[in-house]
Amino acid sequence: MKLGYLGLEVRRILRQPGTLLFVLGFPGGFYLLEALIFESQMPQDIPFSAALIILPAMTAWGVLMAGMLVGTQVVNERATGWQRQLRLTPLSGAGYLLGKAAVGMLVALPPPMAVAALAMVVRGVRLEPLAWLTLIGLVWIGGLPFAIMGLLIGQMAKKENVQEITIIGMMVLAIFGGMFMPLDSLPSWFTYAGYATPSYWLVEIARSVVLPDRQLLPAAGALVGWAVILAAAVMWRYRHDSGRS
């Protein structure tokens, strides 16, 4: 991956302020809304506030959404033939895909920071400075599978249906990841299905920072496994397209 190409990709994203406002505003707005809803429904004897309990899920939601949205933009480059042109340049296929994933990760960093800022300033959540940094850092790094998943959708979908596939995928991952509501409030099969999704483990890795009795290593291992599988699928699809062209 060449730094010049990465800089070009970052500038292209910055020229789309609507995307940045969406990935910042949507998770932050959801966080404040969910905090209000769950605050009125939580039993009084729970030792943690609603604002703290939903914080990991909403930081994870912001990372998931940002990573997947940016990655799917490769569908436009496939449709216009830009990917075929890049194959004639010194930039390798792996470098091209790595650059796209890196941009997705860069865009995925501000959303958890925005949610954390709202939790601290608006909802009065108090954590140690190191805990805030650890929460943002872990959930951001753990979001790598979703940046790669966005690439995979962009490599496989068509321009006409990529938006629908991405939105449906986000909602399914959010529901089974327990981002919008606790899985233990749903039928038990939701929990078992959630174990098979990377979104569940992304929320778990965030919860391991702020809530007790949460294990970091199983969640990290699951996310690494998902990243490897999805990266292999992206490379296979890219090479398949290269072979056809």
pLDDT (0 to 100) of residue 190:
85
CA atoms in the 13 A half-sphere facing the CB of 219? 23
Average pLDDT, integer, range 190-205:
93
In terms of C-beta density within 10 A (0-12 exposed, 13-18 middle, 19 or more buried), how is residue 194 classed? buried
The residue with tokens 């391991």 is: 208
- What is the domain extent for residue 93? 3-244
Q: How many domains does the chain have?
A: 1
Average pLDDT, integer, range 56-71:
89
66-81 confidence digits (pLDDT tens): 888 876 777 777 766 6
Report the amino acid identity of residue 120: M
Average pLDDT, integer, range 102-111:
87
Pair 57, 214: CB distance under 8 Å: no
pLDDT class of 125 with cuts at 50, 70, 90: very high
Q: pTM for this one?
A: 0.88
The C-alpha atoms of residue 191 and residue 176 are separated, in whole angstroms, by 7
